[in-house]
């Protein structure tokens, strides 16, 4: 008789876990708290060869429609002049493209929307998930893949809380067709850096509407890291036109018009004119506060944490989806190696993946240290909090794990 896994979280981490466990012979059900399909959510993401290889090992169709290859990186100064350039190929994709690929591989009857977890009960025979509607699901294994605000982790390890990094990421996406021809020739095929003092703007091509990767139909993603005081500036950004503060996040349509106007004005003042023009053409800029997280453990009893639910690194390493894919594959491999002895498998999984998570978080903190330090007086900033040279950031941001010295050490 097949063993059953309960996966909490229907985003990329949960879908990766579900697909790997099904491939290993487990029955799997995924429970997502949101009540509708997630395919319209998310934005552009950096990917790595490790992710594409992992998806291929899952038997999924990984071809030219999954991502856009970007060969070169350039850095522009305030005037728009290229001041640094390097060859560093990377595949850029869209969150929704990876989601669609993974979700379509899972039988529809095994994915359950609108299921809010309220409890986890364990005994010698297995684990039971309890949901807000009164229903329960029981299995031999429960995987918490429900992101940085993980309900699973909150129930089992309430002391593990996300930590605000001191800055927000403004994001946006524009259609390739909206680019002026001269700007398109200069920028569109590049991963572009703009580095105003104490800030960081990145922009790059990604799949466009309906995940289209054909030239002329792609999108251009930008992400702008800006230091933001958590006590005053962040609440003000998260306050809508009625005066209601939404806490640390606000739905994009509720961002006040004057806040959007201000970010576009600031772009014209601080960024290269080519990039400022892209921000200007963004219909709905939005932002999210940057957090990171380290869990004290990745397993507890018959429960395994995976992806951002276990370790959430700042986006500078670009490893969120890749790390979740490697976590999921390791978990499935550990179960197979131990003959589905869940306790032994989870011990192996913890031992193999914990160090990776810790080192990725540490690396991302190092790359973002100068952004966080902007909230300190300049005289109090340590040497590690000084802004790195542009060439260093261009080389290290979003690097593949095989190029990261911290991951090879020890």
Which own/partner contact pairs does 186-191 have at CB distance under 8 Å and 24+ positions apart?
186/274, 187/74, 187/274, 187/275, 188/218, 188/220, 189/70, 189/71, 189/72, 190/70, 190/72, 190/73, 190/74, 191/70, 191/72, 191/73, 191/74, 191/88, 191/90, 191/92
Quote the pLDDT of residue 410.
Answer: 46
What CATH number is given to the structural domain containing 262?
Answer: 3.30.9.60
323 with 249, same domain: the answer is: no
Give residue-wise pLDDT tens across range 173-205: 999 999 999 999 999 999 999 999 999 999 999
Pick from 68-77, 159-168, 399-408: least confident: 399-408
The residue-averaged pLDDT of 396-410 equals 66
- Dist CA 381 CA 109 (whole Å): 54
Q: What is the DSSP letter of 331?
A: H
Residue 325 lies in a domain: yes
Cβ proximity of 46 and 318 under 8 Å: yes
307 with 358, same domain: the answer is: yes
Number of compact structural domains in the chain: 2
Range of the domain at 358: 4-61+97-162+293-372
- Dist CA 337 CA 370 (whole Å): 43
270 with 299, same domain: the answer is: no
Name residue, tokens 């909206």: 178
- Dist CA 49 CA 321 (whole Å): 12
- Dist CA 93 CA 95 (whole Å): 7
Give residue-wise pLDDT tens across range 284-337: 999 999 999 999 999 999 999 999 999 999 999 988 899 999 999 999 999 988
Residue 398 lies in a domain: no
- Dist CA 127 CA 302 (whole Å): 6
The answer, yes or no, to whether residue 44 has pLDDT greater than 80, is no
Quote the pLDDT of residue 107.
Answer: 94
Residue of 214, 27, 229 lying closest to 139 (CA atoms): 27
Confidence grade of residue 22 (pLDDT, cut at 50, 70, 90): very high
- Dist CA 289 CA 6 (whole Å): 30
What CATH number is given to the structural domain containing 339?
Answer: 3.50.50.60
178 with 210, same domain: the answer is: yes
227 with 311, same domain: the answer is: no
């Amino acid at each position: 008789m097949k063993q059953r896994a309960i996966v909490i979280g229907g985003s990329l981490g949960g879908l990766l876990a579900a697909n790997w466990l099904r491939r290993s012979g487990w029955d799997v059900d995924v429970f997502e708290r949101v009540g509708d399909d997630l395919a319209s959510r998310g934005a552009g993401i950096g990917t790595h060869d490790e992710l594409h290889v992992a998806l291929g090992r899952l038997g999924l169709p990984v071809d030219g429609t999954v991502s856009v290859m970007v060969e070169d990186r350039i850095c522009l100064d305030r005037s728009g002049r290229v001041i640094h350039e390097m060859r560093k190929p990377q595949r850029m994709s869209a969150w929704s493209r990876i989601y669609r690929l993974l979700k379509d591989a899972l039988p529809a009857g095994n994915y359950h929307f609108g299921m809010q977890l309220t409890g986890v009960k364990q005994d010698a025979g297995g684990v039971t998930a309890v949901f807000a509607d009164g229903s329960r699901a029981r299995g031999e294994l429960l995987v918490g893949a429900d992101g940085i605000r993980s309900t699973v982790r909150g129930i089992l390890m309430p002391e593990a809380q996300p930590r605000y990094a001191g800055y927000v990421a403004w994001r946006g996406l524009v259609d390739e067709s909206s680019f002026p021809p001269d700007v398109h020739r200069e920028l569109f095929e590049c991963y572009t850096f703009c580095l105003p003092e104490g800030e960081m703007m990145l922009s790059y091509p990604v799949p466009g509407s309906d995940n289209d990767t054909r030239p002329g139909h792609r999108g251009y993603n930008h992400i702008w890291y800006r230091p933001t005081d958590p006590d005053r500036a962040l609440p003000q950004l998260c306050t809508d036109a009625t005066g209601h503060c939404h806490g640390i996040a606000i739905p994009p349509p509720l961002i006040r018009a004057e806040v959007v106007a201000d970010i576009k004005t600031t772009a014209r003042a601080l960024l290269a004119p080519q990039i400022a023009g892209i921000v200007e053409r963004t219909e709905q800029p939005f932002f999210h506060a940057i957090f990171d997280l380290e869990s004290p453990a990745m397993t507890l009893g018959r429960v395994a944490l995976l992806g951002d639910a276990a370790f959430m690194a700042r986006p500078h390493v670009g490893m969120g989806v890749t790390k979740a894919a490697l976590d999921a594959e390791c978990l499935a491999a550990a179960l197979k190696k131990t003959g589905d002895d869940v306790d032994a498998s989870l011990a192996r999984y913890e031992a193999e993946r914990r160090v990776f998570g810790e080192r990725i978080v540490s690396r991302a903190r190092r790359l973002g240290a100068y952004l966080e330090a902007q909230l300190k007086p300049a005289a109090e900033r340590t040497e590690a909090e000084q802004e790195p040279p542009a060439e260093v950031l261009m080389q290290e941001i979003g690097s593949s794990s095989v190029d990261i010295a911290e991951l090879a050490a020890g």
